[in-house]
Amino acid sequence: SREKGLPPGPPTIPLLGNAHIFPASAPHFKFTEWARQWGGIYSLKLGSSTVVVLTDAAAARDLLDKQSETTSDRPDFYIAELVTQGKHMTVSHYNSTWKTMRKAVTTILTQKAVAEQLPIQQAEALHLAYNLLRSPQDFYTEAKRFSHSVILSVMYGKRAPRYDAPQTVQFFDCLRDMNALAEPGASVLIDFFPILKLVPERWAKWKRQCLQLRTMQRALYGALLGETEDRLRRGEANGSYMEVLLGREKELNMDEDMKLYLGATMLEAGSDTTSIWFQTFFLVLAAHPEAQKKAQAEIDRVVGEDRMPVPSDLENMPYVRALILELHRYRPNNPLSIPHATEAPREYNGYFIPPKTMLIVNLWGIFHDPELFEDPEKFEPERYLRTESGTKPGVDASAFRHNLIFGHGRRICPGSHLAESSININVMNLLWGFNIKPDTDAAGHPLPVDDHDYLGGLAPAPAPFKCKIVPRTIAKAKIIEREYLAADETFAKFEVGLSPEEKEFVAKTRVPLSDL
Ligand code: HEM
């Protein structure tokens, strides 16, 4: 049962606590419903463990930002432990391995270092736009290829020019298997009822799956690391982050496994999140033509017809900036962020929070709170023009920093600069060049777009859907094509390591559309 002093919460039953009512999928909806009933700080009992859900931006700031020395641990995650033996930074406990890896990541992902990688990000964005001219129906997988290729290039100095290349397929298989194993249903049970860990391998299919995934991951990430080392030996450095790390591995104290899993962490954390963001972008814009038209009008005013947008244009586009913030609010990538855990007892607002409590920031519940946001279920970028935080006028918004969707405290997303840069470039490019429209029926009538249809997981992606992505003018399509072909030199630096098949593929596709 719930110990005295804990924040309130739904009634418990013996032994299980609240485990019998713990939602198996899309937990942010149930967590939000409970927040409206039990308040911005409530607790759940799962067996003898405690979860505190924070649907309150000020409480999240006070506990996770301001007291982050004792609230930066992660909960036990036995599945990840089996697969990576504690070396995956995102889910690792707050220990010396995490500190070493986090330091390495902060060294390579500074705002300045990200700015230096801008040319390949811009070239990848051109490739995305060019591919949307060629095969707009593939936008869903193209969002994944693009996101993966950017982080693969900046991390390992190698592009992913097509979605169905063997190494790219292998990467997405690893990601799919990890996400499936980490679905709250299975993993929550093991973590809260540790006796399940003792089930022998022959009865525990998940144990066998973990070992298979470990083998797959080590083969893939070992090969990518080896390729970078070979390139360095051949004197073909191209400025990738892994090269920087390899140059400083002694000073940063990185062992072999840390190097391998650091690359894995970055590729996985960077590919999935950004691709889901762009899939959401297409879905929500197809459903909201009015917002799309306003953003396009602003982009046309600032950029005109004769050139593509450049990053500095965004300064002059308040509506587009508001649209990006509204997308973060309306469909936050990680609706429950990533859970933290306490290392020491905490008192907050008269409640007692014991050590080893799982702290969940319910971003969904915060961003969809009708007390804070006018008509929160409505997609309305204008709210970010009325107030800086998008909240209703008069609401105390001091805890609403603009990067709330990137998490809190010492665990805050280290990839946020890279992600924001990708988002800014592409949102401008895509709205400048294309109309994103609902799919149509046989008679050409637009079909309704369901922007609530999402898959499960901690970072839910829109369920695969159809939409029409059409160049706004022939002149703009020609400019995209011209710019893409002109980025040849930038691409070439990241294509030395491609297999002969990939090189052939690139050579065949790097031609004007009329020659295809
Ligand atoms: C739209 C894109 C992205 C979103 C919304 C996002 C969001 C988040 C969130 C909410 C967290 C958890 C923070 C916390 O625990 O308080 C996180 C952690 C993390 N993110 Fe991102 N992220 C994005 C892109 C990226 C990219 C591009 C990279 C890599 C280049 C990256 C690397 C990481 C890593 C390594 C962590 C774990 C940090 C740690 O546990 O210390 N993310 N991200």
pLDDT higher than threshold 80 for residue 195: no
- Rounded to the nearest angstrom, the distance between the alpha carbon of 266 and the centre of ligand 1 is 9
How far, in Å, CA of 450 to CA of 334, rounded?
A: 19
Helix (H) or strand (E) holding 352: strand 351-353
Maximum mean pLDDT: which of 52-61, 182-191, 214-223: 52-61
Q: At what angle do helices 205-233 and 139-156 cross, to 10 degrees?
A: 50
Length reported for the chain: 516
Which atom of ligand 1 has the smallest separation from the CA of 408?
Answer: 16
In the chain, DSSP finds a helix count (H) and a strand count (E) of 21, 8
pLDDT in tens, 140-173: 999 999 999 999 999 999 999 999 988 999 999 9
Give residue 24's pLDDT band: very low, low, confident or very high (50, 70, 90).
Answer: confident
- Contacts by residues 228-235 (CB-CB < 8 Å, ≥ 24 positions apart): 228/156, 228/157, 228/158, 231/157, 231/496, 231/497
DSSP 8-state code for residue 181 = H
Question: What single letter denotes the amino acid at residue 165?
Answer: A
Task: Transcribe 118-144 into DSSP letters.
Answer: HHHHHHHHHHHHHHHHH-GGGHHHHHH
Helix (H) or strand (E) holding 46: strand 41-46
Nearest residue by C-alpha to atom 40 in ligand 1: 90
Nearest residue by C-alpha to atom 11 in ligand 1: 413
Nearest residue by C-alpha to atom 17 in ligand 1: 413
The answer to whether 467 and 139 are in contact (CB under 8 A) is yes
Q: What pLDDT, on a 0 to 100 scale, did the predictor assign at position 176? A: 86
Q: Is 269 in the pocket of ligand 1 (CB under 6 A)?
A: yes
Helix (H) or strand (E) holding 54: strand 49-54
- Rounded to the nearest angstrom, the distance between the alpha carbon of 43 and the centre of ligand 1 is 25
Q: Is 89 in the pocket of ligand 1 (CB under 6 A)?
A: yes
- Rounded to the nearest angstrom, the distance between the alpha carbon of 368 and the centre of ligand 1 is 21
Helix (H, G, I), strand (E, B) or coil at 12: coil
Task: Transcribe 245-311 into DSSP letters.
Answer: HHHTHHHHT--HHHHHHHHHHHHHHHHHHHHHHHHHHHHHHHH-HHHHHHHHHHHHHHH-SSS---G
The 3 state secondary structure assigned to 447-465 is: CCCCCCCECCCCCCCECCC
The residue with tokens 């306490």 is: 342
Helix (H) or strand (E) holding 430: helix 416-433
**Pocket mutation for ligand 1, best pick of 28, 281, 406, 424 (most atoms within 8 Å of C-beta):** 406
Least confident of 231-245, 278-292, 348-362: 231-245
Helix (H) or strand (E) holding 27: helix 27-38
Q: Is 121 in the pocket of ligand 1 (CB under 6 A)?
A: no
Nearest residue by C-alpha to atom 42 in ligand 1: 415
The residue with tokens 């017809």 is: 305
Please state, in angstroms and as integers, the Cα–Cα distance from residue 52 to each residue in 83, 359, 456, following that order: 27, 5, 21
pLDDT higher than threshold 70 for residue 188: no
Which atom of ligand 1 has the smallest separation from the CA of 105?
Answer: 35
**Pocket mutation for ligand 1, best pick of 111, 281, 413 (most atoms within 8 Å of C-beta):** 413
Q: Is 334 in the pocket of ligand 1 (CB under 6 A)?
A: yes
Question: What value does the mean pLDDT of the chain take?
Answer: 92
The answer to whether 44 and 27 are in contact (CB under 8 A) is no
- Rounded to the nearest angstrom, the distance between the alpha carbon of 77 and the centre of ligand 1 is 17
Least confident of 94-98, 203-207, 309-313, 462-466: 203-207
pLDDT higher than threshold 80 for residue 183: no
pLDDT higher than threshold 60 for residue 350: yes
pTM equals: 0.95
The answer to whether 390 and 321 are in contact (CB under 8 A) is no
Nearest residue by C-alpha to atom 1 in ligand 1: 274
Strands 49-54 and 358-361: parallel
How far, in Å, CA of 510 to CA of 126, rounded?
A: 12
How far, in Å, CA of 41 to CA of 292, rounded?
A: 37
Higher pLDDT pick, 41 / 75: 41
Strands 340-341 and 358-361: antiparallel
pLDDT higher than threshold 60 for residue 281: yes
Nearest residue by C-alpha to atom 5 in ligand 1: 333
Give residue 127's pLDDT band: very low, low, confident or very high (50, 70, 90).
Answer: very high
pLDDT in tens, 367-393: 999 999 999 999 999 999 999 999 999
Residue 413, annotated ligand binder? yes
Nearest residue by C-alpha to atom 23 in ligand 1: 273
Which atom of ligand 1 has the smallest separation from the CA of 72?
Answer: 15
Please state, in angstroms and as integers, the Cα–Cα distance from residue 64 to each residue in 16, 311, 351, 386, following that order: 28, 32, 16, 28
Q: What pLDDT, on a 0 to 100 scale, did the predictor assign at position 262? A: 92
Helix (H, G, I), strand (E, B) or coil at 26: coil
The answer to whether 494 and 312 are in contact (CB under 8 A) is no
Residue 302: CB atoms within 10 Å:
16
